[in-house]
Each structure stands twice: as C-alpha cells, then as structure tokens.
Amino acid sequence: MQAAERAAWLRLILLPGVGPRTARHLLATFGLPDAIFDAGLSTLLRTVPEPLARLLLQPPSEEVRSAIEATEQWLAAAPDHAFITLADANYPQTLLTTADPPPVLFAVGRVELLNRPSLAIVGSRNATRQGNENAHGFARALAQAGVTIVSGLALGIDASAHSGALAADSDASTVAVLGTGVDVIYPASNRRLTLDVRKRGVVISEFALRTPAITHNFPRRNRIIAGMTRGVLVVEAALRSGSLITARLAADSGRDVFAVPGSIHSPLSKGCHRLIRDGAKLVESAQDVLEELGLTGRPRADADSPPPEPAAHADLLQLVGHDPIDLERLVKESGREPGELVGALLELELTQYVERLPGNRYQRLR
Amino acid sequence: MQAAERAAWLRLILLPGVGPRTARHLLATFGLPDAIFDAGLSTLLRTVPEPLARLLLQPPSEEVRSAIEATEQWLAAAPDHAFITLADANYPQTLLTTADPPPVLFAVGRVELLNRPSLAIVGSRNATRQGNENAHGFARALAQAGVTIVSGLALGIDASAHSGALAADSDASTVAVLGTGVDVIYPASNRRLTLDVRKRGVVISEFALRTPAITHNFPRRNRIIAGMTRGVLVVEAALRSGSLITARLAADSGRDVFAVPGSIHSPLSKGCHRLIRDGAKLVESAQDVLEELGLTGRPRADADSPPPEPAAHADLLQLVGHDPIDLERLVKESGREPGELVGALLELELTQYVERLPGNRYQRLR
C-alpha cells in the first residue's frame, strides 16, 4: 500500500465524530478513502449530514498529520509492523461477517495468524490460582492441537491464556487484541509477555498508535476478540464482567461459547454458570472444546483409563447389537425388569459400549 | 385392610420369579391378589405361562407363611408401621405414572409425606466435605420452603440430604427409600439417622421385612426415588455412578434433573457435568431449584402454624371442588390466563388446599 493511500485511511479513522460505522458507510458509498476526500460537497451531502460533509472537506488537522507521519515512521522501523485495512488479505476474514468490523488494524508480529482457526480465551483479571492454571492448561493444549489462542492481554485469565499458548510446542501461537495502541504496553506488569507475543505471536489494535488506556475502549476491543474467533471460552468470570459481554457478542455472531464450571461458592464461577444456563457449552478439558469445534477425529471419550469389560452385561450387549433396538423389545427379550434393564443399559452407555438413540432405542458401539 | 387380603399381596410379591412387572400384569387381569390365588389353572393359563400358573396354584411355602406372620406381628407392634399397596390412598400417586411402580410398599413413619411435593437429592457415597455440606444446605433450604426431600439413606450425599431436611424448621421433612427391608438398618453407621427419619419423616421399601443389603436391589430402589419426586438433584457423582442412573430414570419419567457443578479437577463433579451437558439444569442454590420447579414466592408451611388462608384464590378453590377437574376446564371456567392459573394452583397445592393428580387434574383437599 502506498503512503498516500494509508494517509487517507488514517485521516478517515482519526476524524473526530467518525466511528467504524460511519467510516464503513462512507467506504461502502465511495470505495476507497481517497475517493471520500476527493468528493465535492454536493456528492458528500447525498451520503452524510452537512456538518460531517464540511468536516471531510477540511484539510487534515495538525494532529492528524502528525499521527500519519508517526505511523509511517513506525511502519518503516520494523518489518513486522503492519497496517491492515478492511481491503487487505491479512484482515481477519471472520471479522468481516460481524456487525461492526473495524476499518483498520495495526499489528506487530505474525499477521498470518489472523486467519488461522482460533479460539478466544477470556476471563477475570482477578482470577484465582486455579483459574489461571486452567486458562494456561486449556490454551496450551488447544494451541498444541493447532488452535490459535486469542485474548485481550489483560492481567489474570488473558495473560495466562497467552502464556499457555506460547508454552505449546506448536506454531498456532496467540493473538493479543489491545484496547490501546499496539505500541503501548499496558498494564506495565505484562511487559515481558507483551514483548513475547509481539515476537512469537501477533498483537493487534484498531486504535491509533500511542492511544493510551481509556476505559471505554476496552469493551470495544472485546467485539474484535469475539468476532475474529470460532468461539469464546470463559474460564472464570464474575457475574458483572466484560468477559460475559465478550461471550454474548460471540453468541450473537453465531460463535460457540464455552464455559468452565467451578464451585458454587466461588464468585468467579458465577459468570460461567450463568453462561452455561444460558446455553454455553460446559467444558472440562481442551478435548471437549476440540470436539465441539469439530477439530478432532477422535470420538468423545473420557479416556483417562480404558473402560472395564462389561462382563456383567455381556448377554445384554449381545442382545442390543449394532442395529437400533427399542427398550420394549429389550425388556421382552432380556427378561429383565425394566428398572434393572435401564440401569444396565446406562452402565453400558457410560462405558461407551452402547449409544442411546432418540425414542428409547439403543445401539451397540463396539 | 384385612390380614387375609394382606397375606394375598405378600404371597404375590414373595413368589419366586414374580417381579413387579408380572405382579402388575396379574393384578391388571384379576383385580386384587385374592382373585389371582382363587383362579383355576385354565383361567391362569390365559394370562401367564404354565410354570408360573402351577406355582400360583401351590399353597404358600413355609417361608412365605412365616413372612406373612412376621409382617402381621410387625404391623401390630407400632401404629406407624404401614403396609401400602398400589390400591392405597397413601401410595405415592406420582409413582403410578412411572413404568414400573412396586405393587406394595412397607413404611415406618409419617406416610402422609409420600404425597407431598418432593425432590430427590442423591449423589456419591464417598462425597467430599463440600459435597456433603452442599447436600445438607440444599436439603435444609428446600425443606424449609416446603419441599419434602427424598433420598436413599446411603452414606455421603444421601445421609447429608436427609439430615439437612430434618434440620429445617418445617414439617416437609424427608422420605428415605431403602434397598433393604424397612426394619433393617443399613449401613450400620446410619443407625441414628435411620431412627430419626423413622420418627420425624418416613422410611419406605418395596422389599419384604428383613431383606438384607443385596447389591442388585439398590438400583431397583433408585427407580422409586426418581419416580415419586418432581425432580432429582445430583450434588456430587462420579461418571459411573448410581446417581446418574437415578437422574436418567427421572428424566425418562419427565421429571426435572438438576446438578451442582464443581471443579473440573474433581472426579466427583464429572457425573454432574455430564448431566448438565446432557440437559440437566445447573443450579447454584436452593432458590434456583425452587424457581425451576415454579415453587417460589409461596409462604412457608410450618408444623406449628397452619398454612395461611388462600384469600387471593378463594374463588379458584371454590371452582376446583372436591372432585377432580382438569386444567383445561379450570382455564375456561376461571377466565384466568393459563400461566397465572398454574401459579395459583401451585400455591394452593403447596399450602395443601388442592392436590395435583396425574393428567393435569386437580382436586380440593379441604
């Protein structure tokens, strides 16, 4: 991309009063940003109200020109600094299917990660030790299985998720979506982790360089986390929590929502339990997530130890067979009492010898 | 009931090779047990295979006669010893709607509890301290709210549920369903609790007096726990566990299934998590259960104070009357919205002004 074209994109997103929505509206009408700034008043007035049209006609402010210059210097400073627009192939394509994709993204690191199969892992900043360990464990195992882990580089669950992904022996790695400029380190205690993610993963932001930590930018950042992934896993979250908003945004965009359950006495599990009640999938392991995402060929198995041979029910197993058979017929053919039979069938089901089908029918699995 | 009639019931259920299913089949054909034993061979052959017909024609064995005599002595020994048949008003009416109701029940204690709104609380015998505390807490709060707590008087969650219910300041109390005879104390360490439940709640069993603890009788017992309640709450359970069978039986009978989540690292939460994934309702508190059962907002029914006059629903009470009336007709005649009507009926049910009968019919009690 030419510097002039980048300057037009920056002018557009830095214009006071122009958010992603207005920017996309203008782009949809005029095509590239250059065309917006080249248009005359009467043309602009067909698309936007007069105050905005007049604003678009003014030359860029001192502040905007300085931001453009700083961006050019930053891009020239390192080969892994990138400026990605909606029109760019590196732009996360899944984000385009959401209601509010940002017009541009700044990135530091491996931009090719932005279009990998990915999962967001989010949660409380004040996570428990166990919560942090869980986030680390899920992220590591999922990255190991080839899933890029997306999070917000906040303290607590976010940080544990990023570092878990980086601990995997895999190039799936991790994407950090910031609520500040990509050149800002926030919070300061995440300095080392931020440098690590820049180097081995990628850090992105829709906010201009040098944008400091401003409270209301963080919820906006969450829509990117939710929108660029195939699903969101919430590890620990209080009832009123940004993570629940991220999960809600994900559900609204048709993404899967996963939640890790915990003690009913832990305030940081209440958010997860709320999500599960509202339809999120309860997950106990990375394997559960992979299966739900359809990213594993393995049948669902609680494979800590192979199930024991169902010696006690071998006759019943014989009777069930590999074609569906209904309960009534099993009662008749087995001669067992229905209560006892259902118990035996459930045992066989739990040890994955039979599967229960709709309509009280059963089928042998192995 | 006359001793002769009881003797016939006992002969029927004690006959080797006659389970509840065969017994009900015979009862459905002949009416009362007397008629079965009075029938001739040719009549019996129209209903059962020849070996069984010949068995029915033989006089009761020494063993059966001794069991009949022991039962009569036991019934005479205390006013709260009871022998309840399918035809008895004290028989749990909800159990009649299940696939496999036991023909008779032995009971010690307050038999009127068998037809109160009730919830089963079940779980692991090797529960954690927190699991036991949770079972106790849920049971106490639910009993306090007027829900009779049903469980199996096993160690662990069962025992905690019974003692929690007894700790409530309420006459909702608790029902223990045994896998042994009601006169057997098993396990021995539950001796004090068993005596307490006999005195302040009720202990029931489908098994004859003196029946010892036999492994395969316990799963059969579970179908009664599931069948006589409005729902089953599983507090802690391993993946392969009798509690999961109870929950499955409850779901199959259209009862609600509730499960308490826990740490993903606790083997005793895995059963609960499996249930939640399969559609059980995740609950964090007794309040959650009451809301799911539609039992909130009702006044507390205490032993000492009579239930409050249902002033708000006097018109409805009038309409229900002492003969069964179905919901549809009540909707029509009351002119109330169905949702509101069901709420009002529940209130009347919980304050024991009306009784809910199978098939969405209601009847006034007083």
Q: Which two tokens stand for residue A192?
A: 């080392």
Could you tell me how far CA A348 lies from the centroid of its own chain? 37
Instruction: Write down the ipTM of this complex.
Output: 0.79
Q: What is the C-alpha to C-alpha distance for residues B342 and B93, in angstroms, rounded to an integer?
A: 19
State how far the Cα of B316 lies from the Cα of B327, in Å rounded to an integer: 12
Does residue B7 surpass a pLDDT of 70?
yes
- Cβ–Cβ gap A340/B282 under 8 Å: no
pLDDT digits (tens, 9 = 90+) for A133-160: 999 999 999 999 999 999 999 999 999 9
Cβ-based neighbours of A154, under 8 Å, separated by 6 or more? A125, A187, A190
Please provide the DSSP assignment of A294-332 as one string: T---SPP--TTSPPPP-GGGHHHHHHH-SS-EEHHHHHH
Q: CA dihedral defined by A314, A316, A318, A322, rounded to 10 degrees?
A: -120
User: Highest mean pLDDT range out of A261-275, B10-24, B305-319?
Assistant: A261-275
Chain B residues near residue A339 by CB distance under 8 angstroms: 99-100, 219-220, 222-223, 249
Nearest CA in chain B to A138: B264
| pLDDT surpassing 80 at residue B346 | no
Q: Are residues A107 and A81 in contact, defined by beta-carbon separation less than 8 angstroms? A: yes
How confident is the model over A99-127, as pLDDT tens digits?
889 999 999 999 999 999 999 999 999 99
Cβ of B21 within 8 Å of Cβ of A285? The answer is no
| The two structure tokens encoding residue B52 | 């069984």
| Lowest-confidence region among A151-155, A195-199, A289-293, B297-301 | B297-301
Q: Distance from CA of residue A69 to its chain's centroid? A: 33
Look up residue B91 and give its DSSP letter. S
Which of B348, B295, B298, B305 lies closest to B325, judged by CA?
Answer: B348
B198, containing H or E segment:
helix B191-200
Contact flag A264-B270 (C-beta cutoff 8 Å): no
Do A284 and B262 count as a contact with CB atoms less than 8 A apart? Answer: no
Give the gyration radius of chain A's Cα atoms: 26
Q: How far apart are CA B151 and CA B203, in angstroms?
A: 10
**Among A201, A135, A195, residue whose Cα is nearest residue A172:** A201
CB contact under 8 A, A338 and B273: no
CB distance A137 to A131 below 8 Å:
no
- Which tokens sit at A341? 């039979």
- Is A339's CB within 8 Å of B223's CB? yes
Q: What is the pLDDT of residue A306?
A: 42
What residues of A are in the B interface, CB distance below 8 Å? Answer: 130, 134, 260-265, 269-270, 273, 276-277, 281-285, 302, 337-340, 342-343, 346-347, 350-351, 360
Residue A297 sits at the vertex; the CA angle it makes with A294 and A298, to the nearest 5 degrees, is 110
- pLDDT tops 70 at residue A260: yes
Name chain B contacts of A278, Cβ cutoff 8 Å. Answer: none
Contact B219 A340 (CB under 8 A): yes
How many other CB atoms sit within 10 Å of the CB of residue B194?
23
pLDDT of amino acid A332: 83
Question: Does residue B132 contact residue B163 with C-beta atoms inside 8 Å?
Answer: no
Contact B273 A262 (CB under 8 A): no
Res A345: pLDDT: 84
Tens of pLDDT, residue by residue over B240-273, are 899 999 999 999 889 999 999 999 999 999 999 9
Q: Which two tokens stand for residue A1?
A: 């991309």
Answer yes or no: do A130 and B239 touch at CB < 8 A.
no
How far is the alpha carbon of B357 from chain A, nearest alpha carbon, in Å?
24
Nearest to A343 among B219, B260, B282 (CB): B219
Non-local CB neighbours of A30 within 8 Å, separated by 6+ positions:
A36, A39, A47
Task: Tell if the CB–CB gap between A262 and B261 is shorter than 8 Å.
Answer: yes
Residue B8: predicted pLDDT: 95
Q: What whole-number distance in Å separates Cα of residue B198 and Cα of residue B182? A: 9
Best of B13, B228, B234, B282 to disrupt the A interface (most A CBs within 10 Å) is: B282
Contacts of B240 in chain A (CB under 8 A): 347, 350-351
Rounded to a whole number of angstroms, the distance from the CA of A278 to the nearest CA of chain B is: 10
Token duo for residue A131:
């919560």
R_g of chain B computed on alpha carbons: 21
Question: How far is residue A317 CA from its own chain's centroid?
Answer: 43
Q: What is the band of B211 on the pLDDT scale with cuts at 50, 70, 90?
A: very high
